[in-house]
Amino acid sequence: MRAPGRLDAVVSGYASLDEAFRASHHAGGGETAILRGPVHPTAGRGGCGPNAALALARLGLRSGLVTWLGDDPDGRAYFDHLRAAGVDLTGVEVGHGRSPRSLLIYDPDGAAACYFHPSRSAEQRLSQALRAQLAEVGWLAITVGPASVTQSLLDAAAPDTRLAWNVKADRAAFPPELVRRLIRSEVVCLNEAELAFVARQVGNGFAASSEALVDVGAGCVALTMGRRGYRLVSRDEQLTETVEPIEASDPTGAGDAFFAGFLAALIRGASLRDAGRQAAALAAELLRSRPTAAGGGAA
């Protein structure tokens, strides 16, 4: 029997200091694209794992985080920020070196190219305290992180732990053998480019469709489609919802907010439809908190 004070969810994934730019287009090799907005944007605290864990905590759930931070000023400040927000830090390791960083380049349609330096994240190992926590937690939420850490978490989780996967098209984080395991998660959340990535990683002609994921064992699939809204598919239900388009200069983290909102609602027993609406509302709230795409000067 699990302890009454157990966490609702443990979230894993890279922490990152993010610098985001808007570009005229995504430049190919040997080509130049023009960046817009601030000349030197302030690095924000990001990473899919911390983003989701923080959002769950803000929604009143007991969330823990598995990630690696450097022992530099940025890493220590991030650690303090997570602690102040109420995130359980049993699985957060602070190691020697600089904290991970991301450079995010958005094209005019909002598609991002991400250049990420993981620093020494792959050196993280699961502590005995974290292993004990994993034996009690209700949900394990996997986001993009070192494949070795993800594999260890899956192996350490209790048989009745429920699994949620927030996909990113990162071949190093999600090699084919790990993708084939994760596609059977109770919740799979991804966008259209990530759906195509999953199909490529599975191989053998696997169809890039939500239905194909459900057919091989996914409990429900939440497919975000940008301005066109989102689609939710399970064995018993299929629905598509539209959303109000929101122009934001930096949409970083909107997908993580959607994932966290969706998961939080399901943890509390919401229907698929209501979970989708909470997810969309949380993502919209984040986007509305950012300057518009047209705003911002050459700061």
Q: What is the CATH number of the domain that holds 53?
A: 3.40.1190.20
Residue 32 placed within a domain: no
pLDDT for residue 112: 87
pLDDT for residue 79: 99
The two structure tokens encoding residue 266: 């399901």
The two structure tokens encoding residue 161: 């732990």
- Of 14, 220, 287, 253, the closest CA to residue 112 belongs to 253
Q: Do residues 167 and 189 lie in contact, with contact meaning Cβ atoms separated by under 8 Å?
A: yes
Instruction: Kindly report the backbone phi and psi dihedral angles of residue 297, in degrees, each rounded to the nearest multiple of 5, phi listed first.
Output: -110, -170
**What is the pLDDT averaged over residues 235-256?**
91
Specify the pairing of strand 44-46 against strand 63-70. unpaired
**What is the pLDDT averaged over residues 253-267?**
98
pLDDT tens figures, 86-111: 999 999 999 999 999 999 999 988 78
Give CA–CA dist 170/125, Å, rounded: 21
Residue 31 placed within a domain: no
- Is residue 24 predicted with pLDDT exceeding 90? yes
- Is residue 289 predicted with pLDDT exceeding 80? yes
pLDDT tens figures, 124-154: 999 999 999 999 999 999 999 999 999 999 9
Percent of all residues in the chain with a pLDDT value above 70, rounded to a whole number: 96
Residue 93 placed within a domain: yes
Give CA–CA dist 37/40, Å, rounded: 9
- Is residue 278 predicted with pLDDT exceeding 90? yes
- Point out which residues pair with 10 in neighbouring strands: 64, 140
pLDDT tens figures, 195-244: 999 999 999 999 999 999 999 999 999 999 988 999 999 999 999 999 99
Number of domains within the chain:
1
CA 249, 251, 257, 258 torsion-angle sign: positive
Identify the domain containing residue 260 by its residue range: 9-23+37-288
Residue 1 placed within a domain: no
pLDDT for residue 3: 56
